[in-house]
Amino acid sequence: MIWFTSDQHFGHANIIKYCNRPFESVEDMNDQLVRRHNLLVEPTDEVYHLGDFSMHPRELARLKDMNGRHNLIPGNHDRCHPVHKNWHDKLKLYLDSGFQSIYVEDQIIMTDSPFEVVTLHHLPYTGDHHDTEERYKSFRPVDYGGWLLHGHVHTTWKVKDKMINVGVDQWGYAPISILQIREIIRGSE
């Protein structure tokens, strides 16, 4: 099975308040995110983390407790994202922590009918989770009219136009499966 997730923000105490997450503490949140992930994901499953895995590199150790083979498309809070100075120096740290691959952007082909190419990115085509102007414009994916799986916007939307927010705040603090993604895409036709 293939799974998608983003915006866990491991170790980020303020995210509980910012997104009204139902956790008593950052430790409770960290533990619940791992538990909920492991209830769905098998050890041999493929997991795409679409950014903002943790607020600090020391929290990368959480990955070893999580089922699956992990791929990272970094978000603006991940130190290996190009928005950060010397980001390329952090790539080895993330790979050594258990990510088998790191991409700034990727595409996945959903071979089930209808044939669909889906772009994976941390940022949406447009929009932000703040009421201010969109941030990181030069890092956003180009909208060629296809579907986009992303994170970054937390509670702002679940599905908007051809963008699906796979952030944990929208999916019960757990990953969403490729089967669920296919249903959303089919339901929009």
Q: Quote the pLDDT of residue 110.
A: 61
Q: Domain range for residue 95?
A: 2-187
Q: Quote the pLDDT of residue 129.
A: 63
| Structural domains of the chain, count | 1
Least confident of 20-29, 42-51, 90-99, 180-189: 180-189
Q: What is the pLDDT of residues 7-38, one digit of tens each?
A: 999 999 999 999 999 999 999 999 999 999 99
Which pTM does this prediction carry?
A: 0.90
Q: How far apart are CA 65 and CA 122, in angstroms?
A: 23
* Residue 145 CB neighbour total at 10 angstroms: 5
Question: Is it the case that residue 101 has pLDDT exceeding 60?
Answer: yes
Q: Which residues contact 54 (CB under 8 A, 6 or more apart)?
A: 8, 9, 10, 11, 12, 60, 62, 77, 78
Residue 115's domain is classified under what CATH number? 3.60.21.10
